[in-house]
Amino acid sequence: MCSASINVLGLHDIAGVKNDIVDIFPTPTKDLITILSNENLKSYNIFDESGKMVLSFFFKGNKKEIDLSILKPGDYIIMIETETKTINKKIIKQ
What is the band of 18 on the pLDDT scale with cuts at 50, 70, 90? low
pLDDT tens digits along 81-92:
998 999 999 999
Q: How many domains does the chain have?
A: 1
pTM for this predicted structure: 0.78
Tell me the one-letter amino acid at 91: I
Range 20-45 average pLDDT: 93
DSSP string covering the chain, please?
A: ----------HHHHTT---SSEEEE-SSBSSEEEEEEEEEEEEEEEE-TTS-EEEEEEEEEEEEEEE-TTSPSEEEEEEEEESS-EEEEEEEE-
What is the rounded end-to-end Cα distance, in angstroms, of the chain? Answer: 47
Residue 45 lies in a domain: yes
Residue 12 lies in a domain: no
Here the CATH number for the domain that contains residue 61 is 2.60.40.10
Residue 86 lies in a domain: yes
pLDDT tens digits along 37-80:
999 999 999 999 999 999 999 989 999 999 999 999 999 999 99
Residue 1 lies in a domain: no
What's the chain's length in residues?
Answer: 94
pLDDT value, residue 5 = 52
